[in-house]
Chain A
Amino acid sequence: MTFSWAPVIVIDIAGSAITLLTAFWCAVLSRKWTRQKPDDIFRHYIFLLTLAIVLFAISRSFGHLAKQLLLINDMGSTWEQISPYSGTINSVTFIVIFAFSLYFHRFRRIHTRIEKYKNNLEEMIALRTGELNEANLTLENVLNSSNPLCITTVDHVILKANDAYWAIWPGITEEKLKCYISRPGPFCQTEECPLFQIKAGQKEVFREISKKIDGVTRVFIVTGRPFRDLDNNLVGVVESFQDISPQKKMELALASEREQLAVTLRSIGDGVITTDLKGNILLINKVTEHLTGWSQQEAIGQPVEHLFKIIDENSGIPSKSPVDEVLASGKIVELASNTALIARDGTQYSIEDSGAPIFNKNSEIIGTVLVFRNVTEKRRTKKELLKVQKLESVGILAGGIAHDFNNILAAILGNIELAEMFVDSENKAYPLLQTAKKASLRAKDLTLQLLTFSKGGDPVKKTTSIAKTITESTNFILHGSSLSCQFTIPDNLWLVDIDSGQIGQVIQNLVMNAQAAMAKGEKIRIIASNVEQDNPAKPHHLSDKAYIKIAVEDDGYGISEAHLEKIFDPYFTTRAEGSGLGLAIIHSIIKKHHGHIEVHSKVDEGTIFTIYLPASKQHSPMIPTSTETTHSLETRKARILIMDDEVLVQDIAKLMLSTCGHEVLIAANGREAIDIFKEQQKNGKPVDIIIMDLTIPGGMGGKEAVIEILKTDPSAKVIVSSGYSNDPVMADYQEYGFKAALTKPFLLEELKTALRNVLVA
């Protein structure tokens, strides 16, 4: 069977051409595929294998095409010549392909290992990247949840900052923002800049800065620390910003509170001392400084006993410090009521005191606090009050008995005087009557003095210059004495509203005391002066007024300290002949004049009595209204009406007047006196003089009766008579319509004088 050879040739030529093209295409695709993953060694292997196969295909296809072309062109001999070369190349490609194929597994294994390593590496990288991202995220979270923080390079560029930082100092990191632009402040571009300090080698820098946010100033503490790279080179500074505004606010509030407490403590009117558990002083306030004479700087750390020296005021024996007792008992301790503090300069202050433990929040004692008060004046005032109360008691008693006692005395004295008239001076009874009369007069004086204490004995004040009262009273006492007095009384001494009689009595008593205390030839000094209302030397318990001051000084034997407190007590005297009423009366009179008396005395050095009397608002003395009596006029016979409730007085008065030749009518009270006066007037026998008792218990007294009598007869002559010699009516009788005043008990001569004066007037 014969088969055409043409298909062989056609397929050979076409197949070679197609193979050639396909091989080229394979080479191109293989190259592209390899380039898609250049680090894939297996692809490179496939690429090389493909190249070898392509090389085989090319060599074979070229060979076959050349053969067919040569044969077609009857160039078989040429083909015969090149055929071995083509075949050899073809064979070489077979060997190359073989060689490559043998390395398939090796390349595949290497590829697998590489892939495995690569995958492992990628996994590891992914893992590490994940960890890194997580760490980064954590770091970012931590960074953003912390205080404002920023990292600044050595060139002042903000490298990184957290959200808190940007919220306060807005800006963008990418803009290479400079720190001194972001948050300008006083340290910027100076050596105080934390970055400068860190660059200079500091390991940590602290600065305080402030920033106004929404109108509120916030304060930050900046902590700067070095920022280093992996090689430990300084590349910048890490600065954190802690907002301390609340702490600052609290600090200020605390300081303010502390200041307030300190000021309060310093301003407390009582002395305050705080000590530790050992009794050493921790703090004293201003009052304590003043009372003890120790400054706070000197006192701190000192044992409290050094500063707080206390004694029993009565005995002078040192008292125990209350600190020990407070620490032992853990309770509040009060000091004895008679405690006195001895200041650094020896001044003694009466104090009231209490000590209390200071507890901490765990109720443990950590010290003590002593609070004490200067009560020197208070105790003095209390003593004064006690004195006044004593005098008032005497006054009540005196006032009660004065009236009746004077009436009795009037009867006694009147009868003695009448008896004297009837007894010859040679008579043995005469000296007895004289003695009885003197005794009665002394009794009268005593009653008068007692009345000074009574409530009814208020002074009858008149605006006057006290200079005359002082000099006259003094000279009266010193008349005939070997002592003299040196007066220092300024011409411009202010006027005073005083009862001259009472103040004269005061001066007399003081001069008498001085006289008794001094030796012959010595001088008493009386110094008067004006005391302005704002004069700091004025005793502080005096009211805010101007005063005049009268000091009676002597250089006598003085008064002991123990006696000083008692000298104003009634019936207290150190002299055998003293009544004990002189200084008590002085005290009473001065008090009733709203004045003050004080005494300073040292044994064997002398005594100073100082009187303060309120100055008058008036500048000129009142013109005296009292009328001078004329003693030379004769008494004529008169019809005299006596009004007195006391029968003894009625009788003696009647007897005395009858003895003088007067016609006497008697009335027991004011109403009766008025009736008699009217009746006598109606009968054409008018009464010339009426002597009326001022006070009629249970009936109309002279004060009321004179008004009606004067209504009936404005020219009626009425004399007021009373045992209350210090009654205002007696002092100012004219104001009430009387023509004269007669103090019971009265002497016959006094009665005559009064009648004479009235009749003449």
Chain B
Amino acid sequence: MTHWIAAPIILPALLAPFIVLAARYHIGIQRVFSVAGILSLIAIAAGLAWQVSDGSVQYYRMGDWAAPFGIVLVADRLSTMMVLLTSVLALFVLLYAIGSNWDNRGRHFHALFQFQLMGILGAFLTGDLFNLFVFFEVLLIASYGLMIHAGGNARLRAGVQYVLFNLIGSTLFLFALGAIYAETGTLNMADLAARVQLITPEATVGIRVAAVLLLLVFAIKAALVPLHFWLPSSYAEAPAPVAALFAIMTKVGAYAIIRVYTMIFPPDLAVTSGLHDVWLLPAALISLAIGMLGVLAARRLDRLVAFSVIGSMGMVMIAISLFTPAGIAAALYYIIHSTLAGAVLFLISDLVRTGRGNVDLTAQPPMLGAALTAAMFFAGAIAMAGLPPLSGFLGKLLVLEAAYENPLMVWIWVIVLSSSLISILGFARAGSVTFWKAQSLTRDDNEDPATGDMPSALSYVAIGGLLALLAAHTVFAGQVHGYTTKMAAQLFAPDAYMSTVLETPGKLSKPKEDH
């Protein structure tokens, strides 16, 4: 048992109140502590990922209570990779927020940012379903604060919709947990996986309802059509660095689906057959189509990016809903790609907003810093649309290859390829209107010239860093995909996970010695 597994949760949990209490009025001190905290998070996450990269499962019992009764944190290949991805993304997003001065436009940005990280990392590490609910709430309540950071009427209105939608999601989650507890008497994931196997075919009503409710909750988080309505306006209205950090939040839903529906309700389980294995794939295909159509139809750059996030989540969910090791491996490769690409595009839409004062997709006179912004938008759009040479193309190829054996293979290929074409059109239109047509217009002298500012150098460094990560994700695609294949193999053989969590002795397993 190593205590380091708790560190990614404890560190932000201590740092956030420290920032609120001790450095409330000193933005400089807040920035230093926030960046230092995330740098050490990256170091811890890399260490954990290295420890479990040989395929072992590390666990941490809270208060040393034995597994089905106490809460366990579990680190395997999948959860440590997601922790590492989150911390790296958070570093660049935070650099952008500092560089663009977003963190100084309202109060408590850094404290909420740390609480948000605590919730996300906890959701990735926990081995208990009720604890997953608690960490969902931690990340949500921090995200409510971040979402309306810096205020404004449009943002508050979008915030109301976002909060209400997620409150309904939380209520559904509780209903699902209650149903699961009533059926099985446990909420520990490993214990649950063992007990669901024992349910007889006559008594499956409750557990089937619970499985569908749980899938609905995670699909809301993952913005799967038709549960995606909260995403476009809330991501478009949120401050850009916050929206970029939210790029990982939809992946929390995808992660939860992967975890629960490979371990607790695996695809070959008779009790829940005919549910998620049938309905998830069509919903994912429609998500992809609607997301990319939204890219083509959007009138504002930030909405365009939000719809491209829905589309890329559709792509992830297509790969997941194949429920094969190859499909999950492709999904995990694509999750890394789409997190980075979505974050890059949200930050670039903020560069445009900084440069010319709005993000409407209309021809306007050239903005400040147009050349570099345009080049970055070009790279980000290539990545998101899935054109060679960047990793979106490779990810899409992996998904198509994994779908080759599926009975719905024709549908998957047709929708993936045609939606790629539509998204290319959408991004090309947005780019040419925003950057290209601007060259043919000259600024009217009577007009107020001070609509925009030059984005700061640190903003460009942050986006450049994310683009460099995308490039690295492409160059080392072989190694990354090899690792995600190992991850998928580990997910489809959960015995090691279950025996590690359940069979190692804790405080309760030897009650006589306590007296």
Binding between chains A and B: no
Interface residues of A (CB under 8 A from B): none
Interface residues of B (CB under 8 A from A): none
